[in-house]
Amino acid sequence: MDDGAPINVGSLLNGDDPIEEASEDLLQRADLAEAFAAEIHNTAARYGAVFALTGRWGSGKTSLLNLTASALESFDDVQVVKFNPWFFSGTDQLMQFFFDELAGQLRDGRTRKDKLKTASRAVAERLGNYASALSPLKFIPGAGALLDGVSALSEGTSKLLGDEQTSVHQQRAEITALLANLPGRIVVFVDDIDRLSQQEIRDLFRLVRLTGSFPNVVYVLCFDRSVVESALTDGAVEGSAYLEKIVKISMEVPPLPTQALSPVIASGLAESLDGIDAGPLDEKRWPDIFVQLILPMFSTIRDVKRYLASVPLAVRSRHAEVSLVDILALEALRVRYPAAYELLPPAADLLTGTSSIGQRNTEQTPREKAFADEFIQLLGGQAKSVIQLLFPAADRLFGGSAYGSDWISTWERDRRVACGNVLGIYLHRQLPAGRAPVWYVDYAVGTIGDEAALTEALEQVPDPLLDDVLKRLVPHLREVSEDQVLPSATALMRQLPRIQLGPTGMFSPRGEWAVLGPVITLLRTLDGEPADRAVTSLFHSIAHLYGKVFLLDLIGGHSNEPGLVSEETERSLRQDLFAQICAASPEDLARERMLLRTVVVATADTDSPSAAKWLANSEVVARLMESAVTSTHSQTMGSVAVRTEARLVWDSLVSVFGGDAGLAEAVVSLRRSLDEGAIESTEELTTALALYEKYSAGWRPEF
């Protein structure tokens, strides 16, 4: 096959079937088959000849054998016969089946030369009788001959066949004479010898030894040399020596060079993935993965076919949630080194766990060392490539670099199995609870910079999955252009009403950070006057007061860190917030979330409104009380149980109502409204009032 010729990919995807003709040749072995066929055609065969085509399983022996047979069939003076040894069972059947098959194929054979065709049919008739004569005869194990002694053979055969039958020796002589005058030669191909049992291999080679001296009959035997030599070794007789006595010329299937397999695998992957939603191919990582990891794992076309056959299911079952590059690499590992692949699930935390600066360059734990040692033992030099290219966080276990937790979001963005969440999806082939399908993220990413489109994309995400989608947007927002910041941040802040606010777990960030995290990522890409303009516009676009409070928290300076905007801009926005809360109607305030915190932030460093403003409306007081309830989580050392305790932001409540007396008066008014049915009670309000009684009596939580 010429270097520039297209690859017949269909032959790659037909399972483990060998090729039959040169048009299917993927390994550029047609020329080798032509040379082998020419040698078989030209070799002297006055007393027959035996050729051997050897190679280990999966090396492409049968395909090369078929190409050779196809090349020989183009000669007018060659009759090709193919014998399948799998069709017989035991010594008793072998002799008759062989000659019956030889006779049958010669009788039905098609040749372009009538002379050879006629002669072959004559030989076929003789062979049919010869097979019948030999059918009851058996081999003597190890003797390599038929029943010992000419007299015994003649006597036994005559008794069986009767006086009218020609003796076996005479029939053999007649066949020999016919074959000697044959205007060409018969080439008998025998494949899959190495898949027979040990005794069957021995029987077959004794048959070849017995019949290999027929003139103009050439055997081409195909087998794995190590398997056959082992089967033929018997006591003092070495299998290799036995083969040397039988085989005249031997050819080993050449090993496959990497440059030959590279286009085969690449084209096969393209064809096997055609029509499958595999997700994008990481063009930056693919060359290294392909050349350094996948290619070195393959040396036979059979293994390539097994790999290509398994790829579609491996990709489909991950639903584009995992990087295509990683799936292809891990599938190669699974097919070629299943024992090493089986080490991955129990070591998932070792493969994806990042380390802090203080943890780097520390000694390995016994578990880490045991994993690294076994992985290297199973993969050898390949182990390092697998770890570096797929699981960089684990490189430290193999003497390489350490990676910090800041890499996790990047790996997750790229859907790499280096991220624990993605590796879990790869291994279990399902999304964990709360994980959004990747197409929601992709859709949102594609609309970044377009306020209306991003808003629409996020509105299509179900509420339980919104938190996950927003968090997974963060890595995509770090490199946006300046003009994309404001529209994207505006669309994001619109999602606050859908988010659970406040604590979400013992070690989890507050719920609002699902929105605030992406927004702060966007705003940090700006500086100076552009930041002031964007934040000011964003502030005025937010419909709810608590959203404005969150934004002010984001942009304000902390400790020695300057804020995201100038002090003048921040002061102006806080004044606007104070004005808006003073102007808000009680009905608007009652609809606000986190009302207590909003009031505290809005009235800080200002002349706060009088308590009468809050006392005047029981709904407002109720919302203030409810939003004063917070929760803390604690865990006893050695226990997995997490205890949650409700608490009251007492000092803020007292401050807003102008002191303990003002708060007490507000609570009395609130209880009266509840008793009168003016407002409805809620579980949150009941909890707040119960906590108020404890706090007003002097109780405070212990820290």
The pTM is what? 0.74
Q: Is the pLDDT of residue 34 over 80?
A: yes
**Number of Cβ within a 10 Å radius of residue 431:** 17
Q: Is the pLDDT of residue 19 over 90?
A: no
Predicted pLDDT at 142: 31
Give the β-pairing of 49-54 and 78-83.
unpaired
**Cα gap 412→424, rounded to integer Å:** 12
Contact between residue 188 and residue 79 where contact means Cβ atoms under 8 Å apart: no
Q: Is the pLDDT of residue 105 over 90?
A: no
Predicted pLDDT at 186: 85
Q: Is the pLDDT of residue 612 over 60?
A: no
The pLDDT tens digits of the residues spanning 203-226 come to 888 878 877 778 888 999 999 999
The pLDDT tens digits of the residues spanning 678-696 come to 899 999 999 999 999 999 9
The pLDDT tens digits of the residues spanning 234-260 come to 877 788 888 888 888 889 988 777 777
Side chain identity, residue 387: I
**Cα gap 316→349, rounded to integer Å:** 25
The pLDDT tens digits of the residues spanning 426-476 come to 999 999 999 999 999 999 999 999 999 999 999 999 999 999 999 999 999
Q: Is the pLDDT of residue 101 over 70?
A: no
The pLDDT tens digits of the residues spanning 345-391 come to 999 999 999 876 555 556 789 999 999 999 999 998 899 999 999 99
Contact between residue 645 and residue 701 where contact means Cβ atoms under 8 Å apart: yes
Mark residue 633 as left, alpha or beta (left: phi above 0; alpha: psi -120 to 50; beta: remaining).
beta
Q: Of the ranges 67-81, 316-330, 402-416, which one carries the lowest mean pLDDT score?
A: 67-81
Report the Cα–Cα distance between both ends of the chain, in Å, rounded: 79
Predicted pLDDT at 168: 67
Ranges of H-type helices in 291-381: 301-316, 324-336, 338-341, 348-352, 366-379
Length of the chain: 703
Give the β-pairing of 217-223 and 249-252.
unpaired
**Number of Cβ within a 10 Å radius of residue 584:** 17
Q: Is the pLDDT of residue 164 over 70?
A: no
Confidence of residue 148 (pLDDT cuts 50, 70, 90): very low
In whole angstroms, how far apart are CA 422 and each of 200, 371, 435, 463? 51, 21, 10, 22
Residue 543, C-beta contacts closer than 8 angstroms, at least 6 positions apart:
494
Tokens 């076309």 sit at which residue? 301
Beta bridge partners, 100, equal none
Contact between residue 21 and residue 11 where contact means Cβ atoms under 8 Å apart: no
Angle between helices 463-473 and 438-445 (to 10 degrees): 60
The tally of CA atoms less than 13 A away on the side-chain side of residue 35 is: 8
**Cα gap 142→73, rounded to integer Å:** 36
**Cα gap 489→269, rounded to integer Å:** 41
Residue 241, C-beta contacts closer than 8 angstroms, at least 6 positions apart:
none
Contact between residue 331 and residue 311 where contact means Cβ atoms under 8 Å apart: yes
Tokens 């002379």 sit at which residue? 115
Ranges of H-type helices in 381-450: 382-390, 408-413, 420-428, 438-445
